[in-house]
Chain A
């Protein structure tokens, strides 16, 4: 079995949140948890899945869960529950008449996991919008979304982010399920051609005079775009891009340093950690003085990320210690308690802007890593 690494902590080089701010955030989280219990487990508002599930529980979520810590009473959330239908069982009765989206994750083989959405993705990205520096992500600027769309929520989310900030979003699609198949089949020439196909479309948009200043892309596509532009004697920055946001487990300190020093030509990049289940975790500023450490903070109280012991998932590791990422989602649209992600990382101190625990060094969970294809698009 994997065992959690004991804390080997260096003094933080960022501004740590005060104890008071941490306590306030915790209290707000506890209040939010009670509000969510009242919504998800009340007969008039909860979704069929949780109302049915509650009947089998040895406790009453409405009465016995009064804090975030009380969520430990729930058995671990199994992501298999999200595969297959009927999809309506996840729609809270309280919003049964609202227009709903369904977003999927994974899905290269078998039935993908799905999550219903009314406007969570909009809320998540509006909150994320508040973390973007105006200097690099100016309001009114147009955006390029270069990445996976299809059944994922990313395209709609980025488009909403652009609109929320007064811009218009251009989109170039990449189908990650096909990319994974190309890799599994060993069709590397096709993979290269498909990547080139995406990059060519992106460059066409950037050259078309649309005043695109902001971009979402994946690390792999960012690399390819930067190299393709360099081949043409130009750079991402010279093409007008000032701000990029990107995400993925391959966002290592070394990759970020390489991107900052050699790919971006002064454009600002902010890493994010997110998925269909959680939403979007912003990062604290990534700086050389911090060894390009990338630390993410979940959009609490709507989602909470903990770093827990590999063998005892109810125990949070000490600061600086290594453990598995555990996610809790607490929105009116979705309740997911204590879901063990396929990632591991180190527990980070609360940051002044995000006075709750963060996670750094996020990478595929070592036990699952050998059988997972990551960082493909």
Chain B
């Protein structure tokens, strides 16, 4: 199979190609065309056409077509790279090149389909009931009769996608329904979701010229960031720092998501152990929404031991085993290097490896490696490892007095706070370094798609601004 670049609807076969191989066997799975940054830059000069193609349709039509696309993506056979691809083919390919167990690939498919199927409700929630025509035309009248204007900030959203977590794709799925085109650099090991999704969308009637797929090296990412006035990039803490303060770039980096147990609930910690396990280990712990730390003022040793008993025995299984829960690190040496970092962190005073009695954590294969779940107990927030996050089920259980917690937890993408104490709840609600707040025993990985994620996508793509028209003209607008 060969995946060509997709230049706003036109397939483009590059002379340069990379071969994706099976992470276990090394057998070739697909060839992917590689384009250069200038080709992207050239196409982006015509990016306005992507929005024009979308807004030529009724907004409701676009939503319906996306819903159809969701169904096709999850259940249908679509043509990808000139080859008919069933959902099973897709799952096998995605697992083969990313190291993610097939069962997790299927779970991510369902998540993507859910978002597309519920697009109408999601848009209504994110736009707080704004008539979709307002985004299409740039202005209109709200239901309460007031003229409002939402000015689009870019005709396309640029996306520099990662290889390591197929879960992130839910973030860009609403974009076409907002009247904005997509320009994507697929992840080097995971082109599967963007390609299958694009194929399903086009088959469902979404205009082909509002989607671009540009596989390539880092210069493609740079060209996307330079040429799109709004972009999303997925990367490390360093990438996040590089683009901090750039209003055109939304960076999705490590989440440092956490569970915080209030003093009023911590004595009942055993009731919440399932929430903790799911938060740490769902989707092989790869997501930024997976909990990397659990903070409490007492019982932390017991919590760590209980988590270790639940997570420690999780073993590496073949990717097609329905019970497989751990993804492989497909970059040679990566698992070993991460384990080296963890071992170094474990040497600090006040740190104890709770999963130490459950056998070796590092499992090395011929071409890849795995890390079995790691639970670490920290006597205080001070050790370096208390703030660590890794892309496998890794969690620190940190002892910290409640009154110090919020100043010490640091940036937190999803914070699950298990407390009924109104005063602590009020402090948590006001805590600006927690992005998504779950008040109650809700797993950090359980996202309500009707709520914004890392900022409202509409606020990123549109600017609410003043626009005045004579009263008669305003009245004429529905």
- Complex contacts, B39 vs chain A, CB 8 Å: 258, 262
Asked if A254 meets B41 with Cβ closer than 8 Å, knowing A186-B242, A188-B222, A192-B226, the reply is: no
**In the bound complex, how far is the Cα of B225 from the Cα of A192, in angstroms?**
12
**In the bound complex, how far is the Cα of B40 from the Cα of A262, in angstroms?**
12
- Complex contacts, B222 vs chain A, CB 8 Å: 188
Min Cβ gap B212→A in Å is 15
Whether the pair A227, B14 counts as a contact (CB closer than 8 A) is: no
Asked if A257 meets B38 with Cβ closer than 8 Å, knowing A188-B222, A227-B45, the reply is: no
**In the bound complex, how far is the Cα of B14 from the Cα of A292, in angstroms?**
12
Whether the pair A227, B226 counts as a contact (CB closer than 8 A) is: no
Q: Which of B16, B36, B225, B242 is packed against the most chain A CB atoms within 10 Å?
A: B36
* Chain A 169-200 near chain B by CB (<8 Å), digits 1 or 0: 00000000000000000101000100000000
Please tell me if A308 contacts chain B, counting CB pairs below 8 Å: no
Whether the pair B15, A227 counts as a contact (CB closer than 8 A) is: no
- The number of chain A residues with a CB under 8 A from chain B is 19
Whether the pair A258, B242 counts as a contact (CB closer than 8 A) is: no
- Complex contacts, B34 vs chain A, CB 8 Å: 254
- Complex contacts, A186 vs chain B, CB 8 Å: 242
Please tell me if A101 contacts chain B, counting CB pairs below 8 Å: no
Q: Which of B15, B16, B225, B226 is packed against the most chain A CB atoms within 10 Å?
A: B15
B70-116 CB contacts (< 8 Å) to partner A: none
Whether the pair B14, A254 counts as a contact (CB closer than 8 A) is: yes
Instruction: Tell me the dominant secondary structure on chain B's binding face.
Output: helix
A221-262 CB contacts (< 8 Å) to partner B: 223-224, 226-227, 230-231, 252-255, 257-258, 262
* Chain B 19-58 near chain A by CB (<8 Å), digits 1 or 0: 0000000000000001111110110010000000000000
**Closest B residue by C-beta to A375:** B219
Min Cβ gap B142→A in Å is 37
Whether the pair A252, B16 counts as a contact (CB closer than 8 A) is: yes
Whether the pair A255, B36 counts as a contact (CB closer than 8 A) is: yes
**In the bound complex, how far is the Cα of B227 from the Cα of A224, in angstroms?**
12
Min Cβ gap B39→A in Å is 6
- Complex contacts, A227 vs chain B, CB 8 Å: 38, 41-42, 45
Q: Which of A192, A227, A257, A292 is packed against the most chain B CB atoms within 10 Å?
A: A227
Asked if A253 meets B38 with Cβ closer than 8 Å, knowing A188-B222, A192-B226, the reply is: no
**In the bound complex, how far is the Cα of B222 from the Cα of A224, in angstroms?**
14
- Complex contacts, B225 vs chain A, CB 8 Å: 188
Min Cβ gap B44→A in Å is 9
Please tell me if A263 contacts chain B, counting CB pairs below 8 Å: yes
**Closest B residue by C-beta to A256:** B15
Whether the pair B36, A258 counts as a contact (CB closer than 8 A) is: yes
Min Cβ gap A48→B in Å is 45
Whether the pair B38, A231 counts as a contact (CB closer than 8 A) is: no
Please tell me if A140 contacts chain B, counting CB pairs below 8 Å: no
Min Cβ gap B253→A in Å is 15
Our pick among A188, A230, A252, A257 for the contact of B42 (Cβ within 8 Å) is: A230
Asked if A230 meets B35 with Cβ closer than 8 Å, knowing A192-B226, A253-B16, A254-B16, the reply is: no
**In the bound complex, how far is the Cα of B14 from the Cα of A4, in angstroms?**
26
A194-227 CB contacts (< 8 Å) to partner B: 223-224, 226-227
**In the bound complex, how far is the Cα of B12 from the Cα of A258, in angstroms?**
11
Whether the pair B45, A231 counts as a contact (CB closer than 8 A) is: yes
Whether the pair A291, B15 counts as a contact (CB closer than 8 A) is: yes
Asked if A230 meets B45 with Cβ closer than 8 Å, knowing A188-B222, A255-B36, the reply is: yes
Min Cβ gap B300→A in Å is 39
- Complex contacts, B226 vs chain A, CB 8 Å: 188, 192
Whether the pair A223, B41 counts as a contact (CB closer than 8 A) is: yes
- Complex contacts, A254 vs chain B, CB 8 Å: 14-16, 34-36
Min Cβ gap A350→B in Å is 24
- Complex contacts, A188 vs chain B, CB 8 Å: 222, 225-226
Whether the pair B42, A262 counts as a contact (CB closer than 8 A) is: yes
Whether the pair A257, B15 counts as a contact (CB closer than 8 A) is: yes
* Chain B 180-208 near chain A by CB (<8 Å), digits 1 or 0: 00000000000000000000000000000
Min Cβ gap A31→B in Å is 41
- Complex contacts, B42 vs chain A, CB 8 Å: 226-227, 230, 262-263
**In the bound complex, how far is the Cα of B242 from the Cα of A54, in angstroms?**
53
Min Cβ gap A250→B in Å is 8
- Complex contacts, A263 vs chain B, CB 8 Å: 38, 42
13 contacts between A and B (CB under 8 A): A186-B242, A188-B226, A226-B38, A227-B38, A227-B45, A253-B15, A254-B14, A254-B15, A254-B34, A254-B36, A257-B15, A258-B36, A263-B38
Other contacts beyond A252-B15, A258-B35: 18, CB < 8 A: A186-B242, A188-B225, A192-B226, A223-B36, A223-B38, A224-B38, A227-B41, A227-B42, A230-B42, A231-B45, A254-B16, A254-B35, A255-B36, A258-B38, A258-B39, A263-B42, A291-B15, A292-B15
10 tightest A-B CB contacts, nearest first: A223-B38, A254-B16, A254-B15, A253-B15, A254-B14, A186-B242, A227-B41, A258-B39, A255-B36, A227-B42
